Amino acid sequence: MWAGKKKHIAIFEQNLSNYQNSSLTDDNNTLSNDAIHKATAVIDQKTYHFDLDSKKSILDYALAQNVPIPFSCKNGICGKCKMLCVSGHTFTSNSKAISAEEQKNGYLLSCQTFTDIQDIKIKSIS
């Protein structure tokens, strides 16, 4: 059945390390992966403060610090963790559950979103 036909195998890998390393410098202008950023999340009109760095998603950090961001799949598919970025800058690696237009307007999937060099403020949209 495959005789004479070429098989094509594609492997896609998300690599955030170059992006993360290129953005983070300390006072000596050397690369650092340990930069700590402050996040403020407003969820159901309650305000939570927690720390972030560029190694894990916003959702993973929030859950580890008992911030109740709703979630389900943690794979960028269900959209349950969608939030609005009020201030700061983020990088979303997988955004199947939000449109390009929503991203342009500041919406993010916290399970697929990382910080870069700034503190951020996000809020729930429900």
Interacting residues with ligand FES (CB under 6 A): 71-74, 76-81, 97, 109, 111
Cβ proximity to ligand FES: between 31 and 64 the closer is 64
Contact 51, 30 (CB under 8 A): no
The DSSP secondary-structure symbol of 31 reads B
Q: For residues 32 and 80, which CB has a smaller minimum distance to ligand FES in the complex?
A: 80
To the nearest whole angstrom, how small is the minimum distance from the Cβ of residue 97 to ligand FES? 5
Environment class of 87 (CB within 10 Å of its CB; exposed 0-12, middle 13-18, buried 19+): exposed
Least separation in angstroms between CB 35 and ligand FES: 24
